[in-house]
Amino acid sequence: MQKYVYVKVNDRRLRLSNLDKLIWPDEGITKAELIEYYYKISAYILKYLKDRPLTLRRCPDGIKGEIFIQKQKPEWTPDWVKTFPYFSKTLGKVVEYIVCNDLPTLIWLANLANVEFNPTLSRIDDFEHPDFIVFDLDPFEPANFEDAKDIAFIIRDGLKSLKIKSHVKTSGGTGLQIFVPIERKYTFEQTRNFVIKIAKMVEEVYPKALSAFLPYSERKGRVFIDPLQNSPTKTIIAAYSLKPLPKAPVSTPLEWKELDKVTDPKEFNINTIFERLKKKGDIFDKVLKEKQNLDKPFKELGIKI
């Protein structure tokens, strides 16, 4: 028999269900603990979700069951949940995305067993102009986290030579993501071209880096720097989001000076993240505050302004 619990979150009455369902069966982590995590992390994660359409990653049968990647809002979405309609050229239809701007929406999504929150790089008030450029580093075995780190430092130093500030976080898996906060004046085509040019330069000095799309079989042993993440409807895991992987890892912001010492990104997980936040606070909020003008480096790299 299905069990329900009714809770009041701010001014909303929510019905929570199947709270004893194991989401991480090997770790014994239930849906109740998943919901509790997002309740406790809400002050940190909500600012990275605000006004950004979401791709959901739902695990109603736990991380070992089928994982649903969902852009279209569910049919049963409450009318108080904010949504954003956007015409998808790929699908040839309007997709109505969920936008998570408040705690009730966050808890409602967690109750849907949405483990991972993936927002867009731009906001709904000006969807064609991103707030960030992202270098998404994805290792293909036998390439690993150490290779991703090596490439991240090369990119950091290259950006620094262009007088560009950057910030890094784990993906929750074996990858890394470098965020470059920018003024909201550049198109996705410009930011994507910027990533392509930097990635090609990295590939020249570090052969394990991969700057071009190849079949998956040909990516083996290399770290792909994915330029298409810099596109309007592409989404990337939010800082402080959980990942549906063993040990319940969290996408965690790092200081550049500590990255070299990190050997296993799973050390940042549902059980350790709050102690880290207690010690360091949110070191990633600079990506929301810094607004860098890239006219000069774009011109140097031959990118039209």
Closest CA relative to residue 50, chosen from 108, 120, 112: 120
**Which H or E element spans position 125?**
none
* DSSP-based three-state secondary structure for 69: strand
Label residue 282 exposed, middle or buried (CB < 10 Å: 0-12, 13-18, 19+). Answer: middle
pTM over 0.85: yes
126-305 and 1-119 share a CATH fold: yes
* Domain locations in the chain as residue ranges: 1-119, 126-305
- What's the CATH architecture for 126-305? Alpha-Beta Complex (3.90)
Question: What CA–CA distance (Å, rounded) separates 173 from 139?
Answer: 10
Question: For 1-119, CATH number?
Answer: 3.90.920.10
Whether the pLDDT of residue 1 is over 50: the answer is no
Closest CA relative to residue 99, chosen from 238, 228, 226: 238
pLDDT tens digits, one per residue of 229-252: 999 999 999 999 999 999 999 999
Whether the pLDDT of residue 162 is over 80: the answer is yes
Q: What is the mean pLDDT of residues 61-74?
A: 97
What single DSSP character describes residue 268? S
Q: What's phi and psi for 2, nearest 5 deg?
A: -75, 140
